[in-house]
Structure 1
Amino acid sequence: MKRNKFEVPRTTQPWLITFADLLMVILILFVLLYSYSDTDFKSATNSFQNHNRGSAPEESGGGGIAGDGEEKPSDGESEGEKTVPKEYEKQLEEMIKREKHIQEILDYVKTYATKHDLEGKMTVTPTEKGIEVILPEIMLFPSGKADLKEEAILFLDDMAPLLAEISNIIEIEGHTDNRPISTERFPSNWDLSTARANIVIRHLTEKHKLDPNRFKAIGYGEYKPISTNNTDEGRSKNRRVVLIISNEELAK
C-alpha cells in the first residue's frame, strides 16, 4: 500500500514534538503578555526614572494633587528636598562642637610644646583608640618621684577647662624606664607609674572638679617602652605619662 504523501513521518525521538509544542506555548504567552502590558510597562519605567531624578510625578490637573492621589509638595519645600529630623540636627551640632574642643586641646598642646622646646618629647598622635598625648617626665615630675612640678601644675590648669568642654573618657597611663626603684613609698616601678597617673587625675578632679567617672588610671611600669633602655636618651623617652582622649564618651 502506498504511503499518503501528506502523512507526517514518524520520528525516532518523539520527545522533540512535545518540546516544540512547549516552546510554541511559551512564545504565545510572551506575545500576549507584551501586548497587554506594553502601556503599563512604559508608564512604570517613566515613573521610576522620574523618581530617581528626584522629580515629582506629573500633575493630573488642578487641586494640588499630583499623580494618583499623591500630595503635591508645598510651596515651602523644593522638589526632592529632605528634612533632617531635629534630634539628628542636635546630634550633629554636638559632634561639631566636640570636635572643635578637641582641636583646641591639640592646638594648645602643640603650642605649649613649641614654647617650652618639647617638640621632640611631647607629641600628639591620633590612634584607633583616640588622641594620644605623650607628656615627658621632665615636664611633670622630679626623677623617681610622683609630685607635680610647678610647670606641670600650670599646664594641667590650662588643660582642665578644655577637657571640661568634652565628655570623652580620658585615660592616664604612667610609664617608667627599666631601672629598678625600691623606696618606702615606691617599692617598684609599678607603684611609681601608677602613682603618677593617679596624681594627674587627682589634680584634675579635685582642683578643677572634672567628673571622676571620666578617668581611668593605669600604671605600666617599665613594660611598655617606646625606645631602648640602653641609652640615657631612650630611658628619658620611656619615662612618661600618656593622656589619651578616648573616642568613647561617658554614658549620660
Structure 2
Amino acid sequence: MKRTRKSRGLIPGTSGAPSWIVTFADLMTLLLTFFILLLSFSNLDAEKYRAIAYSMSKAFGVPWAPGSQIDPDLPPVIVVDPEGTSTSDGPLANQNLPPVPPALPPSLETSSEIMARAALAENDALATKLIGRLEQQLADDEVDIRFDDKGVVLTFTERASFESGSADLKQYMRPVLIKVVDELANCEGDIIVTGHTDDRPIDSARFRSNWDLSAARAVSVVHQLVLDGRLDASRVEAVGMAETRPLLDNDTEGNRTRNRRVEIVIENAKCNFQ
C-alpha cells in the first residue's frame, strides 16, 4: 500500500504556499487602500512644495526641471529677485504675470543707499553748473571744486581771495562769488563758509590769533554771498577753524600756502536748474 504525505497548512492546488498568506495579502491590500484614502483626503500645499523643491535644487546646484520633478498642473513658483522683478517656473512661465512686490519692506541699508545715490546726483548737477561758471578760476588753480553724496565743496586759495594777514576780500573775488550765488539761488540746502589758516602765529594789531583771522575771512565771504538778498541769510553759516584742519602738513611754504584757504560747503542741496 502506497503511503501519501500530506502537507499541513498549504493551499489546495498549490505547491508550497501556506494558507495564511491569503489573509496576510488581504490585510496588506486593505492597509494600502487605507493610506491611499488618507493621502487623497490630505491638503497638499502645492506652492509651498514647489518652493521647497526650487530652494533645494538651488542649494545643491541641481538644474531646476519642474516638468520632470513636479506635477505640471501645480501652480508656478514666483521668485522675486533683489531688483524687484519676478520670474516663474512651470507651465505658466510664458504668461505675462504682473510684477510681484517684495514680501518685506526694503532694509534700512537699502533705503540709505537709495538716498545716497539721489544726493550724489543732486551734488553732481550742482558741481557741474559751478564748474561751468568758474572755468577760468579752475584753470588758474584759484579754486577747486569737489563733491560726494555729503555735499559740494568749493575751495578758494588765499592768493585769489585775500591779501596776507587781511580779512578784506580782493575786488577780483567779488564777481566770482556773484557767479556762485547765481547757481546757489536755484538750490535749497545749507551753506557753510569756513576759513582756514596755517600754523604760524599771526602778528597783527587787528587779529588776536588765527582764530580771529579765519573767522573774519569766513564772515567776509558770507557778507558777499547774502549781499544782494538772493540767498536767505538763515541758510548761511560762517565758521573759523584757524589751523586745525590742514590739507597738508605745515612743514613747507608750499603746504602752508595750500592750507590758507576759504571753503564754501553746500549740504543737502536740492536744485531746480532751468
Common topology (TM > 0.5): yes
Identity %: 32
Cα 1:210–1:173 change in 2 (3 A) is: same
| Distance in 1, Cα, partners of 2:237 & 2:269 | 12
CA deviation vs aligned residue, 1:166-217 (integer Å, no higher than 9, x gap) = 1121111100112222433211110110011111111111224301121121
What secondary structure is seen at the aligned counterpart in 1 of 2:45?
A: helix
Partner residue, 1:49: 77
Partner residue, 1:124: 145
CA deviation vs aligned residue, 1:107-149 (integer Å, no higher than 9, x gap) = 236623344x21xx63223356422221111111111111111
How far is the alpha carbon of 1:153 from its aligned partner? 0.5
Cα 1:234–1:103 change in 2 (3 A) is: closer
CA deviation vs aligned residue, 1:35-78 (integer Å, no higher than 9, x gap) = 2246x6347765463686579xxxxxxxxxxxxxxxxxxxxxx9
Partner residue, 1:225: 246
| Distance in 2, Cα, partners of 1:165 & 1:131 | 15
Contact 2:120 2:148 in 1 (8 A): no
| Distance in 2, Cα, partners of 1:220 & 1:31 | 84
- Over the aligned positions, Cα root-mean-square deviation in angstroms equals 3.7
Cα 1:30–1:185 change in 2 (3 A) is: farther
1:35 to 37, 40, 46: 40
2:223 to 202, 205, 210: 202
Contact 2:123 2:151 in 1 (8 A): no
- 1:153 and 2:157 are equivalent in the alignment: no
| Distance in 1, Cα, partners of 2:122 & 2:200 | 40
Which of the pair has more CA radius of gyration?
Answer: 2
Cα 1:126–1:80 change in 2 (3 A) is: same
- 1:189 and 2:202 are equivalent in the alignment: no
AA in 1 matched with 2:188: S
| Distance in 1, Cα, partners of 2:36 & 2:239 | 77
- 1:105 and 2:110 are equivalent in the alignment: no
Higher share of residues assigned helix: 1
| Distance in 1, Cα, partners of 2:38 & 2:217 | 81
AA in 2 matched with 1:192: L
| Distance in 2, Cα, partners of 1:225 & 1:197 | 16
Structure 1 gap segments, 5+ residues each: 1-28, 56-77, 83-93
Contact 1:134 1:240 in 2 (8 A): yes
Partner residue, 1:137: 158
Bigger relative contact order (CA 8 A; separation at least 6):
1
AA in 1 matched with 2:40: S
Q: Aligned pairs, how many?
A: 187
Partner residue, 1:238: 259
2:200 to 170, 179, 183: 179
Structure 2 gap segments, 5+ residues each: 1-33, 51-73, 81-85, 89-95, 101-117
| Distance in 2, Cα, partners of 1:133 & 1:191 | 22
Report 1:51-90 matches (<5 A): 53=86, 80=98
AA in 2 matched with 1:177: D
Contact 2:119 2:150 in 1 (8 A): no
